[in-house]
Amino acid sequence: MLKPSMPYGLMAGDHFRPMQPTDLDAIMAIEPLIYPYPWTRGNFSDSLHAAHSAWVLLREQKIIGYALLMLVLDEAHLLNLSIAQAYQKQGLGRCLLQHMIDLAKDQQAANVFLEVRVSNGSAIALYENMGFNEMAIRRNYYPAANGREDAVLMGLAI
C-alpha cells in the first residue's frame, strides 16, 4: 500500500541506490527492450569508470529503472534515464528524474541539461512538466532507421 507522503509511482520498499558493475546484467536486459538504439554494456561501464552519478531504482530488490548524470563544474548532464517497459506510465520516470535533479542540486549544479529524440513525445512532455525548456535542436544527433534523428536539447535551471 502507498504511504500518503510517498511520491506518485513509488511503492513501499521502492528505493534508489548507486549503480554497481554487478547491476549491468539486469540493466542490459532492460535497455534493448526500450530503445531501438540502446546503450551498450561498454557505455555503462565507461560511465561507472568515469565516476558519473549512476543510480538504480529497485522494487523488491529488482532493478526497474536507472539513470546516469555527468557532473562538470556547475552543470549536470542527464545521460540516460530509463524505466523498464512493464513499469512505464506509472510515475516512476518522474520520481527517478526528481531524484537525479536532487542529486545535481546536492552537488551545487546550477543547471541540468539533456538531449531527447524529437520523436519521443512522452519524454519531452515529462521533461517540460518538470520545468525543462527547449534550448536548441541538435541536428542528426541520434541513429535512426532511415539515417539520423534530431535531438531536442533541454535545460533546467536549479
155 membership: H or E segment, kind and range: strand 147-157
Radius of gyration of the chain (CA): 15
C-alpha span between 82 and 93 (Å, rounded): 7
Mapped onto helix, strand or coil, the DSSP state of residue 2 is coil
N- to C-terminal Cα separation, the chain: 32
Active-site option among 31, 66, 115, 149: 115
- CA-angle at 37, arms to 32 and 43, nearest 5°: 80
- Which one of 31, 127, 142, 149 is the catalytic residue? 127
DSSP 101: H
The verdict on whether 127 is a catalytic residue reads yes
Q: Please report, for the chain, how many H helices and E strands are present, in that order.
A: 4, 7
Any idea which residues carry the catalytic annotation? 115, 127
